Structure 1
């Protein structure tokens, strides 16, 4: 992975939350959770909500322009679109979510079967991808409803089973995640520490290396993400792109 000075070793994307309705009548994305990364929404326009399940139960957080909300690893989240909800997404550990740090809340028989999960999660060829994204979302909502209803009834066992299944599902690919973290967020934190120590010692030579960077947005149609139509940004430092 190329070096990036973008703050915090994060990734950045612009997300239009899906506007079509799931079988429960709620418009929005595919419920899922991240196992290592923290995700943040900065709402730029529209209204909606974030439905979450965590260690304290089920929550609904209203979203409108200017809202900033973030959720830590293990938080099952469902983005809900009430009226043209658009958000900027900041994701910790740039590159790690794309490496498999997300598990959708498919029903238990799918989450516990790696082959079945891979088939359910795949969007396949570009043609017909919108329909497959909706089917994938609907399947994740079905599993989400089971987890939500159980925690509301005071039964944490389905949630605990989902967490265990999610961990087993990604365990093999998680071996490579440490390298991704070292290359971006850890390397950046170590660089900041070195600069702080340099300044404390009277050395400000690094200030001569100051540069402005600009992210390049992905071109063409927005891709189909878990929560909506997605435009990503390349936050690699320009001198590392040559």
Structure 2
């Protein structure tokens, strides 16, 4: 079924030099109407392909329209601004990023945005916090052909370890995380390092699971590390 993009578009006012921001809806191949936020650098030129960041929101936004867009603007855009990327931030269908419906929606959205904009397919990054971090693990493990990097913030995963971090993966976890145990995240990253996987683990002192502001500097460092891996 042909994917219908931009059934509705809401442009948001941006200051000079800030990205162009839009809120959009589109119809997925199975007919679901999905919502997402879009950010396009003001300097975008179709002759120069841009990286693409897929930003995955955490849980807790049930019933809130454009929840992903809110997190994109407050967290992922400022944290990953150095990448100069186009960024998309969908709302999770069924309140999860690890369901087949969400997986297919994200892939369809990447394809649709790639038809509209000049995207460097070798530089597609998935980044997520909490439930979104679980989604980043899930999608990057299953689609190494579609993603070239992942940033996981305070995210758990049930994926087999041998499937993880085959692409550059930056893992950020607070030592005081009361939801996803720090020891589990640390042990997983250490095991991946022993396997020779391209993974970097950053432990944050005093950071609880819900203190998103405490993760911002680490998110920026993660973006720079991913960019360095791409430029090797």
Instruction: Tell whether the structures are fold-level matches, with TM greater than 0.5.
Output: no
* Higher RCO (CA-CA < 8 Å; seq separation 6+): 1
TM-score by length of 1: 0.24
Greater C-alpha radius of gyration: 1
TM-score by length of 2: 0.25
